Copies of this chain bind each other. A is one copy, B any other.
Amino acid sequence: MEEEKRTVRAVERALDVLLCFVSGHEWGLTEIAGRVGLHKSTVHRLLATLEDKGFVIRDAATEKYRLGLSVLELSANLSRSDDPSVVLLPEMERLRDELNETVSLYVRDRAERVRIQAVQSMQAIRRVATVGARLPLSVGASSKVLLAFAEPGVRAAVLSDAAWPSNLERAAFGKQLDDIVAAGYATSFEEREPGAAAVSAPIFNRSGKLVAALSVSGPSNRLTPDRMHEYAPAIIESAHRMGTILG
């Protein structure tokens, strides 16, 4: 609490309002005010500003707010030519076709992970992965990869974060991460979602720094533990190839 904040409160609050729209598409003013814990009139002013700049629009029919087109405009420029999510796409599709399962790409953002790219399996029963989703860093194969192979310090920093689940045994988890470093890949079986399993391997750039986790996921009856270990070499090889594509 002693932390000197060099941020602008009004802007922080406006961005919190904007971030309401990551879950659910439409919100009324009062709803938003309740969610962010601010007074109606404050939120009203913030929304007017956001609307003015095109970040939100009011649905003419429902009178509620939804995301505006400025966000689309920004996200269009998010994918640059040297963006991993673009240059790695062909290789992701190749791997998808080889294993016929959904392939995702994750990066770590503080104490969370974000799915920055995904290609879906073509099978009827498949893992459906939405790009942009933000997931906890405590469970799942790619979470463990993103922690295990991270630069020194981040592992300790994340594990000691206040948001980290307290019921998770730290020592055992650390041991698990060490095993993953030794094996070169991680698996998860019905860990985060029942019926789902995943294998994940680290992607390093040329200077050996971890940049992303490549993950293959599907229903747990297809992706049995045996099958996952069988797939692992192909995934590791694919991840290695991706590393050479990057700078």
Contact = CB atoms under 8 A, between A and B. Distances in A.
A76 interface: yes
A77 B132 contact: yes
Contact of A77 (B11, B14, B67): B67
A26 to B, nearest CB: 9
B75 A71 contact: yes
A48 B15 CA distance: 13
Interface string A18-58: 11011101000000000000000000111011101111000
Which one of A16, A53, A130 has the greatest number of beta carbons of chain B within 10 Å? A53
Contacts of A76: 22, 130-133
Interface stretch (A2-10, A160-168, A178-186): A2-10
A7 B52 contact: yes
Given A14-B11, A52-B12, A45 B6 contact: yes
A155 interface: no
Interface residues of A, number: 49
B8 A72 contact: no
Contact of A49 (B15, B55, B71): B15
B48 A6 contact: yes
Given A15-B49, A45-B6, A107-B69, A21 B77 contact: yes
Given A12-B53, A16-B53, A50-B11, A132 B22 contact: no
Given A8-B45, A15-B50, A69-B132, 13 more contacts: A6-B44, A6-B45, A7-B48, A8-B14, A19-B70, A21-B77, A22-B73, A22-B76, A25-B77, A25-B82, A67-B77, A71-B75, A76-B133
16 contacts: A7-B52, A8-B46, A15-B50, A16-B53, A19-B53, A19-B70, A19-B74, A22-B73, A22-B77, A60-B209, A67-B77, A69-B132, A69-B134, A71-B78, A72-B78, A72-B131
